[in-house]
């Protein structure tokens, strides 16, 4: 479980996160939604420790990040997998080398064990035929799957995804969403996903947090969001014609 308490973060005079409290439970897909500029990415990077926060606590299963030594933080990071918006695969390495990369740094596996683990992770994301290709030679959807395979290579307890299906067609986006949910449930991972894709919310939103102007504006499940009359939810979710019609249908 990840507990975030009173998280604040500013860049100069501009306060992006204005005291956010939220808990992320294991085995669930926790989705953070909100408009562009609402602070989603800053929030995710702050929880990951890529940004120094102004105040607040981030607690990973009882371990407060602020109180950890450098070595303890390094150990904690080995329990974290991250899928970046653009995949962030290493251009100069093949798909297989990308997935083996964290295994080369940490752990004491032999070469064949590392290879087996990478093969397993790639087959888990249903990517069995691209081992020796470079990231530039595969499609965006395949890159996202490689990024997921690399993120789960170290058996993470926590999985973070920053807009994992941005730039993908709806069909591939659903495949990626379902893959993340399957992995989350199968390995009981605490998964946190940044998205503004409402299809993802309705597909896998076990726990949804809506950020608005640096505040937590709403929290609930994918079923609750459809029936919510909260102003922030109505303003963000039911803005498109499609969702307006959905809402009207639900009200009837």
Partner 1 sequence: MVYRFFNGIGDYALLMWRVFRRPESWRETWKAFWREVDLLGLDSLWIVSIISLFMGAVVTIQTALNLDDPFIPDYYIAIAVRESIILEFSPTMVSLILAGKVGSNIASTIGTMRTSEQIDALEVMGINSANYLILPKIAASVFFNPMLLTLSLVLGLAGGYLAGEWTGMVVSSDFILGLQMGWDPFYISYAIIKMIVFAFLIASISAYFGYTVKGGAVEVGRSSTTAVVNSSLAIIVFNYILTDVLLN
For binding to partner 1 (CB under 8 A), which residues are involved? 45, 48, 50, 73-78, 80, 82, 84-86, 88-91, 101-102, 104-106, 154, 160
CB 219 to partner 1: min, Å: 25
Q: Which of 157, 222 has the CB closer to partner 1?
A: 157
In the complex, the smallest distance separating the C-beta of residue 45 from partner 1, rounded to whole angstroms, is: 8
**161 versus 233: smaller Cβ distance to partner 1:** 161
Specify which residues 83 forms β-bridges with: 161
Q: Regarding beta strands 190-194 and 29-33, do their DSSP bridges make them parallel or antiparallel, or are they unpaired?
A: parallel
Q: How far is the CB of 42 from partner 1 (least distance, A)?
A: 13
Report, in Å, the least distance between residue 78 CB and partner 1: 5
Rounded to whole angstroms, the Cα distance separating 70 from 229 reads 45
Q: How far apart are CA 205 and CA 181, in angstroms?
A: 9
Confirm if 4 and 47 have CB atoms less than 8 A apart: yes
Residues 6+ apart with CB under 8 A from 225: 201, 205, 208, 218, 233, 237
Complex with partner 1: residue 114 or 216, whichever CB lies closer: 114
Given the complex with partner 1, which of 21 and 113 has the nearer CB atom? 113
């Amino acid at each position: 479980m990840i507990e975030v308490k009173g998280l604040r973060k500013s860049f100069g005079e501009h306060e992006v996160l204005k005291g956010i409290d939220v808990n992320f439970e294991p085995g669930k897909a926790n989705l953070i939604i909100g408009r562009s500029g609402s602070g989603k990415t800053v929030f995710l990077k702050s929880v990951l420790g890529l940004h120094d926060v102004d105040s607040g606590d981030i607690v990973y299963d009882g371990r407060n990040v602020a109180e950890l030594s450098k070595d303890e933080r390094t150990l904690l990071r080995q329990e974290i997998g991250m899928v970046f918006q653009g995949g962030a695969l290493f251009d100069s390495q093949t798909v297989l080398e990308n997935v083996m990369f964290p295994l080369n740094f940490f752990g004491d596996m032999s070469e064949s064990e590392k290879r087996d683990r990478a093969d397993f992770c790639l087959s888990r994301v249903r990517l069995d035929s691209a081992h020796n290709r470079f990231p530039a030679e595969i499609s965006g959807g395949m890159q996202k799957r490689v990024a997921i395979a690399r993120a789960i290579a170290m058996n993470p307890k926590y999985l973070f995804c920053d807009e994992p299906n941005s730039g993908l067609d709806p069909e591939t986006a659903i495949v990626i969403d379902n893959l993340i949910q399957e992995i989350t449930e199968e390995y009981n991972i605490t998964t946190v996903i940044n998205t503004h894709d409402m299809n993802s919310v309705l597909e896998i939103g076990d726990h949804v947090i809506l950020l608005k102007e640096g505040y937590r504006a709403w929290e609930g499940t994918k079923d609750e969001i459809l029936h919510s009359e909260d102003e922030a939810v109505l303003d963000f979710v039911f803005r498109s014609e499609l969702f307006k019609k959905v809402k009207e249908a639900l009200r009837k």
